[in-house]
Copies of this chain bind each other. A is one copy, B any other.
Amino acid sequence: MGARLIATPQSAHFPDVLRLQGGGSIRAYDLAFETYGTLNADKSNAVLVCHALNASHHVAGVYANQPKSAGWWDNMVGPGKPLDTDRFFVIGVNNLGSCFGSTGPMHVNPDTGQVYGADFPVVTVEDWVNAQALLLDQLGIRKLAAVMGGSLGGMQALGWTLQYPERVGHAVVIASAPNLTAENIAFNEVARRAIVTDPDFHGGHFYQHGVVPQRGLRIARMIGHITYLSDDVMNTKFGRQLIGEGYRYSTQDAEFQIESYLRYQGDKFSEYFDANTYLLITRALDYFDPARHFGGSLTAAFAQVQAKFLLVSFTTDWRFSPQRSREMVKALLDNRRTVSYAEIDAPHGHDAFLLDDARYMATVRAYFDRVAQELTV
């Protein structure tokens, strides 16, 4: 392992209009990003890491003098880590519409002089990929050694292989899916309804009222958390453990440890996450469905793919189950593409993709070893 990686957030400005899939457009926007490692002479060692719902461009390392500010995938990305920044030039970028530095609903629309709020245009996975491609253009990177992501980040990696097939060498798609199931959409919709019906939402223009729809955000986060964990790991971690000595018989006070855990997660989230961003990002999840333009055939959709793939799923992930990864593996094999697939027997549910699991880490490390070998040939 090398020394602790120090991360430095940067920002790229894009004056031109970006046309969006939903019919809207955005101009004069910024993307927050970070890079780790060194771009080699022929600019062939770049790896883009795409984030999921509530993460950001701060993928790895810590900020100077902030030892607790580790990036969200710091166990995966860094010097000597599975995605080794001693070999690769890794890029993290905050997506358009997010709330961690890139242009989003809390910023001012240059066309109106007003904060976007609910008027921020709907963005899709495809739009994010287009914006990321423009960032790579600014950085002078023509082709990615790899694009990588988990969950919604995995969808962006998929999107790259479909929208810019010639610009991607490898795609690492972890705990992801080729689209959402009805149940996935249902959970997103309940979370959105909790936010939208919070009286403090004010139709998405809560900023000018000086309030935040925290009630709705709390509920949304609690629902999310349940779906990130497996029933097993919840039972192991919390089971029916009480907060007090015995039942206190209350309908409103928390009685069980799982209740105070969820309340705490909800409270924390509602302090920092933007409500309009939550709507945008869950909708991007709902809309992603590359087979849609191919009569529902994922095999037909993947015909254009050129990248080689590593897919990883986790046995107890009931949000994006192994079955969904197998669908993608099958569609790639139907097209005779090169695919590695690992189904990791981990107890942690969907969250497993962010956690340390020796087999999972070894799989990704081995895969990137191979990617690195291709570079040096």
Chain B minimum-CB-distance residue to A123: B249
Q: Number of A interface residues at 8 Å Cβ cutoff, please give it.
A: 60
Which one of A24, A189, A222, A235 has the greatest number of beta carbons of chain B within 10 Å?
A189
CA distance A104 to B205 in the complex (A): 40
CA distance A147 to B26 in the complex (A): 64
Q: Are B286 and A189 in contact (CB under 8 A)?
A: no
For A212, the chain B residues whose CB sits under 8 A away are: none
CA distance A235 to B180 in the complex (A): 10
CA distance A229 to B185 in the complex (A): 14
For A222, the chain B residues whose CB sits under 8 A away are: 186, 189-190, 193
Question: Contacts A190-B222, A219-B219, A256-B182: A118 and B262 contacting too (C-beta < 8 A)?
Answer: no
Q: Are A249 and B22 in contact (CB under 8 A)?
A: yes
Question: Contacts A231-B183, A256-B182, A256-B286: A122 and B249 contacting too (C-beta < 8 A)?
Answer: yes
Q: Is A223 an interface residue (CB 8 A)?
A: yes
- Min C-beta distance of A355 to chain B, whole Å: 18
Instruction: Indicate how many identical chains form the complex.
Output: 2
Which one of A185, A192, A199, A218 has the greatest number of beta carbons of chain B within 10 Å?
A185
Binding site for B on A (CB under 8 A): 21-24, 118, 122, 179-183, 185-187, 189-190, 192-194, 196-199, 204, 215, 218-219, 222-223, 225-226, 229, 231, 234-235, 237-240, 247, 249-252, 254-256, 258-259, 262-263, 266, 276, 279-280, 283, 286-287, 289, 318
Kindly list 18 other residue pairs between chains A and B, CB separation below 8 angstroms, not including A183-B229, A251-B279: A22-B247, A182-B239, A182-B256, A183-B226, A183-B234, A185-B258, A189-B222, A189-B254, A189-B258, A192-B252, A194-B194, A196-B252, A197-B215, A197-B218, A231-B318, A251-B276, A252-B279, A318-B318
